Structure 1
Amino acid sequence: MNKITLLIVLAMGVNAFSQDTIMPLWPKDKIPNHVASLEKEEHVMEDILRISTVQEPTIEVYLPSKKNATGQAVVIFPGGGYRILAYDWEGTDIAKFLNSKGIAGIVVKYRLPSSVSQTHQEDVPLIDAQRALRLVRSKAEAFHIDPNKIGAMGFSAGGHLASTLGTHFEEKVYTPIDDVDTRSARPDFMVLCYPVITFGESSTHGGSQENLLTKDPKPGMVDRFSNEKQVSSNTPPTFLLHATDDKSVPVENSLVFYRALVKNNVPATMHIYPNGGHGFSLATKDKYLRGWTEQMFEWIESLE
């Protein structure tokens, strides 16, 4: 094989890998609740990458080396108030960090509620979340992961979506379209970081509620998506993280979910830090707060 041929082969291999790491959630032209419109997906890169008006949801897959792999995987839902996705800050950066511990990280670019390009917009994020979990489970062999060790992780409004998945995984919000949809959408565990949990209360995040349910929610929707009211004995074991001084999403959100988990005998742990505010991600510049990641890894290990 000469040098030119070798370079072509290597280039093809790199391209194939790149294409494999980002996968569409849905087959072309089969995206549930989608309506053709003039809306276009937008990517804005400033201090972080902000993605809005998602039209074609995807998963972006980050895998550790086979030698380091634990077999565990985490499906990650970035936050952004159901208005944008803080895609690297609470998505790809998290996936890469998980890889350092041998855990596969899969970032979901889920659709954000839209009255223009969707029907029943309140269901759309959950539709994509269920599909993402099922798709990852269907790829367990290819990703070298255990199909029974797949967690859901979310930040802020992404935490609301992850907790919605963990409490509504059996809810039929779309018509199955292929073999992927025969898999369970139940996460095996949840990691909820400064999550939005409750709606219709003084402690809720008004922007997340309005963006998901509109200013005039349909009857029953506030209770349906107040996830502390939807916890059952089959809700996955949960790790909760919050800061007491969070002014955007009050710590009461984690507290009410923790109490609901305990009431239903669901294994749960909660770490409340005195300071940190909202949206601190990995907290790499805070010598005290950044310890939350080790707490999480130890907890995940304890589940085995």
Structure 2
Amino acid sequence: MKLLKKPTLLIALISIGMSAQQTTMPLWPNTIPNQKETNEQEVVEHTEDGIIWITNVQKPTLEVYLPAKKNATGQAVVIFPGGGYHGLAYDWEGTDIAKTLTVKGIAGIVVKYRLPWSKSIAKGKNVVPLQDAQRAIRIVKSNAEEWNISEDKVGIMGFSAGGHLASSLGTHYDDKVYERQDDADDISARPNFMALIYPVITLGVPSTHTGSRVSLVGENPTDDAVDYLSNEKHVDAETPPTFLLHAMDDDVVPVANTILFFDALKAHNVPATMHVYPTGGHGFSLALTDEKLKNWMNLFFDWMVHLD
């Protein structure tokens, strides 16, 4: 790994873990919808690159990182790690991102969401991640006062398949996909803003990510199933303002996904900012060792400052 040229950035990142307050809580305190009891166990392992990789999620959670109260801006970002709806790159595209947000006074909340191919999913596997996403943002809003968050400043960020889940929440936030469990479910699930990082957007060919598509809707889905989760088709004037980031040479999730979503946002006059880099590939997370990409989080911070 190359040494960072700016020691102050390195010091800031090292200090993140010492400053943030962290807690973990269940997403569903009562019954987990669409789930049955099985002998499946959640698996937490490390990839060859040392990334924490989680599969077979049985009990979805929120992992909450809060900045010191005096530093809090009132903003929060609910984070959905990627992994093709087959696993979660939990630190790489989750907790590392949350800790970085706290440096700027922004609460970072990581969602450990269920994966639709799991044997414990009894029915409706295509909407199970969306159930968890809707519930996650509602819980965050319901805890806004306690966590020094403004309920109207709660946004979402998703990476790769997590970007698909974030865009699903941003376009299907009003869909009734589970039965009410408590007062939190009376709160709107609409995010106030979205950040979609090398996201899967469409389930249509040829631009889709095949692994995500198969995990969500199977090998031979109906046209209706594909259309429902091809999120560029569900943008409207109420879709939240969106920050988009992708690399042209991404050979896993084609950059066409980001462009499709940007075009849909533009057609409905939804404020959007798109950054497309010529190189970077897929799954670069914070990109701290990439001279061209490593500034992308600062671009996002600047964008957040100017949100209405």
TM-score (norm 1): 0.92
Shift of residue 254 of structure 1?
0.2
1:148 aligns to what SS in structure 2?
helix
1:59 aligns to what SS in structure 2?
strand
Q: Matched residues in 1 for 2:132 and 2:222: separation? A: 21
Partner of 1:126: 130
Partner of 1:198: 202
Partner of 1:183: 187
Partner of 2:95: 92
Q: Matched residues in 2 for 1:206 and 1:45: separation? A: 24
The reply on whether 1:21 has 2:39 as its aligned counterpart is no
Partner of 2:13: none
Partner of 1:5: none
In the alignment, residue 207 of structure 1 is paired with which amino acid? G
The reply on whether 1:212 has 2:216 as its aligned counterpart is yes
Q: Matched residues in 2 for 1:76 and 1:220: separation? A: 28
In the alignment, residue 40 of structure 2 is paired with which amino acid? E
2:133 aligns to what SS in structure 1?
helix
Shift of residue 103 of structure 1?
0.4
Partner of 1:148: 152
2:70 aligns to what SS in structure 1?
coil
Q: Matched residues in 2 for 1:175 and 1:234: separation? A: 24
Partner of 1:36: 37
Partner of 1:174: 178
In the alignment, residue 240 of structure 2 is paired with which amino acid? P
Partner of 1:101: 104
Shift of residue 203 of structure 1?
1.2
Partner of 1:247: 251
Q: Identity of paired residues, percent?
A: 60
2:294 aligns to what SS in structure 1?
helix
Unaligned 5+ runs, structure 2: 1-19
Shift of residue 115 of structure 1?
5.5
Determine which of 46, 50, 55 is the counterpart of 1:52. 55
Deviations 1:123-158 (A, max 9, x none): 100000000000000000111000000001000000
In the alignment, residue 146 of structure 2 is paired with which amino acid? A
Alignment of 1:228-247 (within 5 A): 228-247=232-251
Shift of residue 216 of structure 1?
2.2
In the alignment, residue 53 of structure 2 is paired with which amino acid? R
In the alignment, residue 150 of structure 1 is paired with which amino acid? V
Q: Matched residues in 2 for 1:217 and 1:115: separation? A: 18
Following TM superposition, the consecutive aligned residue runs of length 4 or more in structure 1 with deviations greater than 6 angstroms are none
Shift of residue 219 of structure 1?
4.7
Alignment of 1:56-95 (within 5 A): 56-95=59-98
Higher gyration radius (CA): 1
Shift of residue 42 of structure 1?
0.4
1:289 aligns to what SS in structure 2?
coil
In the alignment, residue 227 of structure 1 is paired with which amino acid? N
Partner of 1:11: none
Kept after mapping to 1: 8 A contact 2:56/2:118: no
The reply on whether 1:110 has 2:113 as its aligned counterpart is yes
Q: Matched residues in 1 for 2:290 and 2:189: separation? A: 35
Kept after mapping to 1: 8 A contact 2:86/2:117: no
Shift of residue 45 of structure 1?
2.0
1:89 aligns to what SS in structure 2?
helix
Deviations 1:78-101 (A, max 9, x none): 000000000000000000000011
The reply on whether 1:164 has 2:168 as its aligned counterpart is yes
Q: Matched residues in 1 for 2:100 and 2:292: separation? A: 18
Q: Matched residues in 2 for 1:160 and 1:96: separation? A: 22
TM-score (norm 2): 0.91
Q: Matched residues in 2 for 1:214 and 1:124: separation? A: 14
Determine which of 128, 132, 141 is the counterpart of 1:137. 141
In the alignment, residue 290 of structure 2 is paired with which amino acid? D
Shift of residue 217 of structure 1?
1.8
In the alignment, residue 298 of structure 1 is paired with which amino acid? D
Shift of residue 218 of structure 1?
4.0
Q: Matched residues in 1 for 2:232 and 2:83: separation? A: 21
Alignment of 1:217-296 (within 5 A): 217-296=221-300
In the alignment, residue 32 of structure 2 is paired with which amino acid? I
Root-mean-square deviation (CA, aligned residues, Å) is: 1.3
